[in-house]
Chain A
Amino acid sequence: AQTVTQSQPEMSVQEAETVTLSCTYDTSESDYYLFWYKQPPSRQMILVIRQEAYKQQNATENRFSVNFQKAAKSFSLKISDSQLGDAAMYFCAYRSTFGNEKLTFGTGTRLTIIP
């Protein structure tokens, strides 16, 4: 079974600075999908970014980018120019491409933005 590990329960960053959230996963599959979701105080899960494992190029969405290291099974999220609205819980998630519908989530990292 796949597992997702987020080793940083809490992180903080000064407004306008850059922060990196870590995620590692364990799988025996070669093709899969990885996601970062954001959960603000409203509790709704919002997709931040996704990565397809067969693509070597790191995904980027505006101020959000990932560092995908397939061999190391690492999928970190970098937030540049941090804004107050970025404060939230961030969850890393894994999904297989083979029939299984399940998103496997990590335990999350709480990100605080310091004004």
Chain B
Amino acid sequence: SQTIHQWPATLVQPVGSPLSLECTVEGTSNPNLYWYRQAAGRGLQLLFYSIGIDQISSEVPQNLSASRPQDRQFILSSKKLLLSDSGFYLCAWRNGGILGDIQYFGAGTRLSVL
């Protein structure tokens, strides 16, 4: 069966420090991968999605970037964190090429920028 791993679970970082959040999927190949952010008390906002290695689309201009160095690995990064980057970050995947198939989410990373 497929599983999605996301780490770390929580992270406290000072303003101006770099960021690297990692997400990996097991049990499937060529998944579509997604990074979402959830601000406190709000719904999810799509940040990036990827349909293949080195194929990244950005939904919202951010202080963040994403990379997909391997088929089942998706990384969210920042060179210098801002206070506004605080939030809950969720990685998700779905079977690529199957319209309407479900997005499955990881357990999330709670990021606090101080």
The size class of the interface chain B forms with chain A is: 20 to 34
Contact at B43–A47, with CB atoms within 8 Å? Answer: no
Q: Identify the stretch in A11-19, A61-69, A70-78, A98-106 within 8 Å (CB) of chain B at 4 or more residues.
A: A98-106
Contact at A52–B103, with CB atoms within 8 Å? Answer: no
Question: Which residues of the other chain, B, contact A56 by a CB distance below 8 angstroms?
Answer: none
Q: Say yes or no for B74: interface residue by CB 8 A criterion.
A: no
Option from A4, A37, A102 in Cβ contact (under 8 Å) with B46? A102
Count of A interface residues, CB-CB < 8 Å: 22
In angstroms, Cα B44 to Cα A108, docked, is: 10
Q: Say yes or no for B61: interface residue by CB 8 A criterion.
A: no
Which B residues are within 8 Å of any A CB, using their own CB? Answer: 32, 34, 36, 41-46, 49, 51, 57, 59, 88, 90, 92, 99-100, 102-108, 110
Q: Knowing that A35-B102, A46-B105, A101-B34 are A-B contacts, what are 17 other residue pairs whose CB atoms are under 8 Å apart, sorted by A's residue number? A: A33-B100, A43-B107, A43-B110, A44-B107, A44-B108, A45-B90, A47-B102, A50-B102, A91-B44, A101-B46, A101-B49, A101-B57, A102-B49, A103-B36, A105-B44, A106-B43, A107-B41
Which A residues are within 8 Å of any B CB, using their own CB? Answer: 4, 33, 35, 37, 42-47, 50, 52, 91, 95, 97, 101-103, 105-108
23 A-B pairs (CB sep. < 8 Å): A33-B100, A42-B107, A43-B88, A44-B105, A44-B106, A46-B105, A47-B103, A47-B104, A50-B100, A101-B32, A101-B49, A101-B51, A102-B49, A103-B36, A103-B44, A105-B43, A105-B44, A106-B43, A107-B41, A107-B42, A108-B41, A108-B42, A108-B43
